[in-house]
Chains A and B, each alone.
Chain A
Amino acid sequence: MKKYIALLLMVMVFAVCLLTGCGGGDTLTLNVYNWGEYISDGSEGSFDTIKEFELWYEETYGTPVKVNYTTFASNEDMYSKLSSGAVSYDVVIPSDYMIARMAAEDMLLPLNFENIPNYEYIDEDFKSLYYDKEGKYTVPYAYGIIGVIYNANEVDAQDTGSWELLWNEKYKDKILQFNNSRDAFGMAMYKKGLDVNSEDPAVWDAAYEELLAQRPLVYSLVMDEIYNMMESGEAAIGAYYAGDYFTMKDAQAENVDLKFYYPERTNFYVDAMCIPTCCENKELAEIFINFMLEKEPAIANAEYTYYASPNRLVYEDEAYIEEMGEEAMNVLYQHAGNFAAQYEQNAYHNLKPETLDYINTLWETLKIN
């Protein structure tokens, strides 16, 4: 009987080894940590970025590589996983303010741009933004702008054009607001012309008053629920990222006609690839970043995410322009050429912990009201 048990144990260990692939030998591994649904993954016949990289690398360098691609849902999730020291990643793709924080905390390695020749295709506008002034740590992946989405069948065209639409009493219970303190306060602050990176509590109080006035008109606080509510016509007005508007428009119901505009001031953000200090194979990580800037993967990713790309190979490509269509090109790339100036004025910076605490207290109070 003991023999059987020993045999059973052996079989189990063997099966687990086989399935998890332990003892791979010469295979290199690359650990990539990115936002969910933020890379072209081969669905609907598109380009399978990770698989293509593995194939290309083995063909070019003769060594097999295994990419462990995992995803996170927010910058804060990513930060806590990385700073716990529990896991090592080679490439991460967070947003600007989180990059600034990680750089300040010495969590990033300077890149060796000799391994990233494709960096030349990145528009100059994106090369020395506040979060990485010297352009040492990051290679931008995608950028976006928050705008207002509305259902033209329910909203008069004359009411649109500014943030006022989200405070318009005519559309009581048709308005959606971000369920995220920074973006909700940001909206009120852009509307009032306040500084979104202020460390002065009085400024945040003023924004709070504004949100309090809006509160009775708001139908719901949403993040990704906005897709369903706008597509079905359940709500008529909401603010979200420009690229996602096209995803919603693709799926709108028959009696819904979604339209989009940028208010006078709004949030600009950039997500960029960088290498954290826990990286174990920096050269491989840089080769991966370089691969992401190649024409084919870069275009595939931009088409998949519907976000604007800072890569000239993408936005100057005729096939890409045609695929996206005129409206999408106009909306997504409206600020091309003077992005840096707009960005410096309007992007979120990382705030002091005391300020963040203060905002959260205001936010919780607001939600109870």
Chain B
Amino acid sequence: MTEILMIMLAAILTENFIFIKFMGICPFLGVSDKADKALGMSFAVIFVMTLSSGTTWAVYHYLLVPFGLEYLQTVAFILVIASLVQFIEMFLKKYVPALYSSLGIFLPLITTNCAVLGAALLSISNGYTFLQSVIFGFSAAVGFMVAVLIFAGVREKLRFSNVPKAFQGMPIALVAAGLIAMVFSGFSGISL
């Protein structure tokens, strides 16, 4: 139990995917201009990451390991994740149209998201069990949500401030992201 709690805390705070590992920066900057958009994307990421880390664990241990093909894990995972997202998209469109219309535009973006692939690869290299890797994927995505929501809040405030012309738009957003990343690096002293 403590181990699971530690995996969760590490994935959310000390090993935050965005601010410490610098993965998933593209959606982080892309959807963070409004908090509700950021929330939609975060839920899509949580959904896909949890499912994909479970699936990739199974593919790795029941397909790649028996054939001695561990060195092909990256290629295999990309294939699995892309198909999985496509499948989920079609499934949601048919059976949960409400969820599809809120997550729909974000799902294809996640297909090629490095954070999703990163979570799958890391849970293998950390030697997690099935349950642990699912929890790791879920918490990494929650970490993504925390980061994006904090950043979206900052950016919503930024819209009302007098930003010098040269810094307007993306430059000031990147400066803000850097400052938040520094805050998160304060967690690195805690080893879990």
User: Do A and B truly interact?
Assistant: no
Question: A residues touching B (Cβ–Cβ < 8 Å)?
Answer: none
Question: B residues touching A (Cβ–Cβ < 8 Å)?
Answer: none
